[in-house]
Chain A
C-alpha cells in the first residue's frame, strides 16, 4: 500500500501543474501512512479482484497523470525541432550544402538556419501577428484589417475544430471512442447546407434553423452507433468508422443530384447557402472570422457545465469511469451511452455547419468538411479531453493551419508539413515517457504509467 492511488485526481480537478501534481502525490503518501494501520488487514484477505479498467479509462488516466502542462509544451518544442529537420531534408538546395559540410560547415548551418527560421517566422506571421502589416498600418500603407488578418484566419480554422474536439472529448469522458466525428460533421454539413439553400426563411431565423439542422444531422449520425452500442453491444469504434464512409459517399452522391447541384456548374458543387443563413462575419467582409468562434466558446462553456455541473454530466462521468458502479447506483448505462453519442453528434454536426455556413464558398463540395472530424480526435487528446483544454488545442491547430498557408506561399514549405507537425505533437503527447526522457525530467512516474498502458493495449 505504498501508493494507494496511482491515478490521482478526480476527473474534473486534475493537477494543473507539475508542482500541484507533486503536492497531491505528497498528500497521498501522507494519507497512506496514516491509513497503513487499518489498511493492513484490508490488503490481506484473499485476492480482492481489482476491476480491470477499460482501455479508454487507462488511456484517460495516463493522459492526465503523465501529461502535465510542461510535457505538452515540450512536445510542441520537439515537434518543431523534428519539423525543422524535415524542412532541411526536403529542400534540395539546403541539403546539397551538407555534402561539403566538413570543408565549409558555415554554408550548411547558415542555409539551414535561414530556411527554418523563415519558415517558422512565416508560420507565426500567418497565424498570430505580422509586424510588417503592423508597421504598414502605422504608415497608412494598409488598413487595420491586415493586422488582424492572421488572428482572423486562426480563429476561422479553429472554430470547427473546437466543436469536433469537444465531440470526441465528451464521448471519451463517457467511456466511448467517437471516431465518427467526421461522419457526424459530414451529415451536419449536408443538413445545414440543405436548410441553407432550400428553405426560404427570414434572416436570423434562417441562420438559426440552418445551424440547428446541422446539429440535428450530427445527432442522428451519433444516435445510430449509440443505440447499436446500447441495444446490440456493437462496438462504437467500428460503427462510427463505417458510418464515416457512408456519410462521405452520401455527400458525394448528393451534391450532383438535381436541385442540389449548382445549375451553372458542371463540377461537383452544390448551390450556395443563402446569405440569410450564413454566419455573420465579425470583423467586416474582408476578414473571414465569423460568429462560429463565438458559438464555439459558448459550446465549450456548455460542455464544461454539462460535464461538471449537471446531473447528466454526473451520469456520463460515472458511466465513463465505472459502468458497473453506475449501474448499481441506478444509472441507466445504456441510456447514457445513447445520450453521449447524441451529444457528441450534435457537437460534431455544429462543427460541420461551421464549414458551410461560415466558409467563403458556402456550398457543398466533396471536401467541404476537410478533416475536421479526424483532427478533432487529435484536438481532444491534445486538450486532454477537458473542454477548455480542447478550446486551447483547437486554437493551436487553427494557428498551425493558418500559418501553414502563409508558410507554403512565402517559404515554399508544403502545407503537409503542418499536418506532420500536428501528428508529431500528438505522438509526443501520447508518449510522455519519451518526452520526459529527452528532456531529462523525472521519468519514473511516467514510465510506470506507460507500462500499465502497454498492458492495457
Chain B
C-alpha cells in the first residue's frame, strides 16, 4: 500500500477479508507468510504491536464502552496520568487531544457525549478518532458501511477522503460495489481466502461482481431436468426479524414444488437464515403465511415441523446441526430419538440406534472410526454427511438445506449434491440456500435471489452467472439486463458453458493472501 491511498478489499462474506485484517491487526497469528511494513518484516503479537507499527483498526462491531464518554473511550488503553504516584487520570489533556484530532480531520465529535446516546455513524467516527489519536498511518475499516444509513455512508466517505488528503492510508473492507467504485484507488478482490485479482476503480461493476463470486470454479452436478409436481412449500408475504429485532425478511413470496430444487442465492446476511428459521419454526413469524402441502404451519414448534416431513440441514453445523460431544450414532437420531424404533416410551433403544447408525454410516459413506466416536472428531465433510444422513433417512415432503457444503471437502460436496438430487428425483421438494453461487446454479431448477430481505428475482439455472451476481449485489433484474448488455444474456446455456468446468476446491493454500499484502 502507498501512503495516502485507499485500498478496497472486496469479497463475499466468509471470503477471508476480516481474517486477513485481523492478522494485520495482530489479533490472529499467520500460519505462513509475512507482513512487510516499510520493507521490514513485522511480527505482531497483539493489537498493541500493530498500533505501535502505526496500524489502527475500526471493527465491524465497535469496541466502545457504552456508558463512557467519548473522551473516556478514547483514553481507554492509553490512559494519561498526572499527579505522579497518585495517578489521576488526565482527562483534560485527553479531552484536548480528542478535540484537536476531530477538528483536524473535520470529524465533529463531541468529546463529552456518552457513547450510548450517539447514533451509530458518530460512534464509528469515535472509533476513527480513537485510532487517529494513537498516531496510526494505516487505518483498517472492516465493513464500515454495513451498519450505516446511506447519508451516514456518504459522510463516512467524506471523512475517508479528508484522511487520505492528510496522508493516511486506508484499507476499506466491503462487499458493496458502489462504495468501492466511489472511493477506492485500488481494489483487491478476495475469494475463498485467495487474492483472485486486482482492479482499478474504473473496472465495471459486472467485472468486479464476476471476480467476487468467481467464475473459474464450477461444480457440475449430473441431473436430469426436473419434473415439478404440486406445490409443497408456499410462503406468502413473510416478515421476520433477526435477533436484534431488525427486519431481516421483508415480504417474501416463494413456492417450492415437489420434485424440484429451488435454489436461494444471495450474499449472506440478506435474510436467508431468518427465512429458513421461520419456516422451521425456530423464529417467530411477524406477518405472512407459510404452508406445507396446504397446512398452515406458522407458529408450529420445530418438532412438529420436522414430524410433518421436513428435513433440515442447518447452515452452521457446529452450532445448530450437531452435538459435538455426542457420538455419531446419537447424532444420527438427534431429531428422531423418541420415535420407534429408537425410543419406546421413556426408554431409548440403544441396539436399534446402533444398528441404524451402522447402516447409515455405510450408506452415506461417513468416515469414522466407529459409530461411538464423538462426532466432533470427524472431519467437516463427514460431519456434514452425518447431518445429511440423518435428515434423508426419513420420508420427507420438503428438504431445506442451508449452506449444505460449506467447509466441506470436494469429495463430500459431490456426494452431498448427488444425495440432494436423488431426494429431488423421488419427489421431494428441495430448497437449497447457499452463498456459493456455483452450488446454487449446479443444483437448482429455479433460482431465487435474495437481497435485503426480499426476493429480488427468480431466474432459471441457465441465467448467466454475471446476471445473478448483479442481482446478488442488489441490482434489480432490468438493470442487470442492461448492465450485461446484449452479448451473452439471451443465449441460454451459452454463458454457463463458457465457464471452465474446472476443479472445485483443489487449490490447497490461502497463504497467498496474507503474503502478498505488502505494506509500502
Contact = CB atoms under 8 A, between A and B. Distances in A.
Interface in B186-213: 192-193
A321 B301 contact: no
B286 interface: no
Contact of A330 (B15, B301, B318): B301
B369 interface: yes
A28 interface: yes
Contacts of A131: none
Contacts, number: 168
Tell which of A4, A34, A41, A44 has the most Cβ of chain B within 10 Å. Answer: A41
Residue with the highest number of chain B CB atoms closer than 10 Å, among A30, A34, A309, A330: A330
A139 interface: no
A252 interface: no
Interface stretch (B250-258, B288-296, B376-384, B437-445): B376-384
Nearest to B327: A10
Chain B interface mostly helix, strand, loop or mixed? loop
Contacts of B19: 46-47
A46 B16 CA distance: 5
Contacts of B346: 310-312
Interface string A305-343: 000011111110110011011111111100000000000
Contacts of A285: none
Contacts of A408: none
A45 B306 contact: no
Nearest to B346: A310
B18 A47 contact: yes
A315 B334 CA distance: 9
Q: How large is the interface on A (under 10, 10 to 19, 20 to 34, 35 or more residues)?
A: 35 or more
Contact of A309 (B307, B334, B348): B348
B277 to A, nearest CB: 9
Contacts of B301: 330, 332
B306 A330 contact: yes
Contacts of A44: 192-193, 510
A35 B338 contact: no
Contacts of B318: 48-51
A360 B183 CA distance: 85
Contact of B409 (A13, A37, A312, A325): A37
Contact of A321 (B14, B323, B380, B411): B323
A327 B282 contact: yes
Contacts of B316: 48-49, 51
Interface in A119-167: none
A28 B370 CA distance: 12
A312 B345 CA distance: 10
B409 A328 contact: no
A97 interface: no
Given A35-B378, A332-B301, A317 B326 contact: yes
Nearest to B350: A309
Contact of A46 (B193, B326, B377, B408): B193
A38 B381 contact: yes
Interface in A5-58: 5, 7-11, 13, 27-28, 30-31, 34-35, 37-51
23 contacts: A5-B377, A7-B376, A9-B374, A31-B373, A39-B379, A41-B408, A41-B505, A41-B508, A46-B13, A48-B318, A61-B325, A309-B350, A314-B338, A314-B348, A325-B319, A325-B321, A325-B323, A328-B314, A328-B320, A329-B306, A329-B335, A330-B303, A332-B303
Given A39-B409, A41-B407, 12 more contacts: A10-B326, A34-B367, A42-B407, A45-B406, A61-B325, A311-B343, A312-B346, A313-B348, A314-B330, A329-B335, A331-B303, A332-B303
